[in-house]
Amino acid sequence: MKNVRLWYKKEGLAKYGSHLDLVRCFSRAVRRAQIPIWYTEGFNPKPYMTFPLPLSLGQQGVHEPLDIRIIDDISYDEIVNRMNSALPIGLEIVSAGESVMDSKEISFAEYSVKLDFQSADKAQYFAKQASAIIAGGELMAEKKSKKGIKTVNLCEMVQDFCAEADNEICEIKMIIAAGNTLNLNADLLVETLEKATECEDYVRSIVREKLLTKDMTDFC
């Protein structure tokens, strides 16, 4: 028996699938691809799959982890090829290998965000004001938690933030808190900034580039 960490892309229309949809999709793909996966014990056995940090609905990811456990000898390349032959458009296994780090080591996530505004002036204004707000250190918002809804300062969960406008498009690079202990949804940060600046985008693209540990090394 061996633990394997798959790295996959979630793009295009696949971003509109919920986490439950994703679990079902990968479960079917594992069966179709005849991956020798270990099944949980009990009355209703299920293929062993763990998503260290699932993506939020509507967001894309280019290097997302998925942990499985296999019971027979099969190469990493063979797992990748078989899975990709069984997955739908929008989902693709990029690589497979040993699971080195525990999911508890995830502390941050790096995102690329693209916002389309109605005018170049509005995009420029948002980029400038959003950067100033983050630099100022205070951006209050209501955030859901296990104990209910509470008001938090989102700036305390932003490690790095850079916004630049080009014509009607504002591009943001940011590193924000991610993990089981402290987690900031990129959508919540963008929406709160737009509310504070009174600027609303009409097309939004959020892509999670990678997951990071507390010392800013890549989660692997």
DSSP 27-65: HHHHHHTT--BPBPPSSS--B-EE-SSPPPTT-EEEEEE
| Planar angle of CA 94, 99, 105, nearest 5 degrees | 105
Q: How many CB atoms lie within 10 A of CB 46?
A: 12
The position carrying tokens 């594992």 is 30
Domains in the chain: boundaries: 2-100, 105-212
pLDDT value at residue 92: 98
| Planar angle of CA 49, 91, 190, nearest 5 degrees | 95
Query: What is the average pLDDT value for the chain, to the nearest integer?
Result: 95
Whether the predicted pLDDT of 147 surpasses 80 = no
Q: How far apart are the first and last CA of the chain?
A: 20
Equal CATH topology for 2-100 and 105-212: yes
pLDDT value at residue 102: 95
Amino acid at 47: P
Q: Are 200 and 193 in contact (CB under 8 A)?
A: no
Kindly state the average pLDDT of the residues 199-204: 96
Residue 147 host element (H or E): none
pLDDT value at residue 116: 98
Strand, helix or coil for residue 79: helix
Closest Cα partner for 83 from 2, 18, 4?
4
What are the pLDDT digits (tens) for 33-50?
999 999 988 788 889 999
pLDDT value at residue 40: 87
105-212 topology per CATH: Alpha-Beta Plaits (3.30.70)
pLDDT value at residue 181: 86
What are the pLDDT digits (tens) for 111-143?
999 999 999 999 999 999 999 999 999 999 998
DSSP letter assigned to residue 25: H
Kindly state the average pLDDT of the residues 70-99: 97
Separation between Cα atoms, residue 117 and residue 125, nearest integer Å: 10
Separation between Cα atoms, residue 192 and residue 154, nearest integer Å: 9
What are the pLDDT digits (tens) for 161-172?
999 999 999 999
**Model's pTM, two decimal places?**
0.94
CATH architecture of 2-100: 2-Layer Sandwich (3.30)
Q: Environment class of residue 102 by beta-carbon count within 10 Å: exposed (0-12), middle (13-18) or buried (19+)?
A: exposed
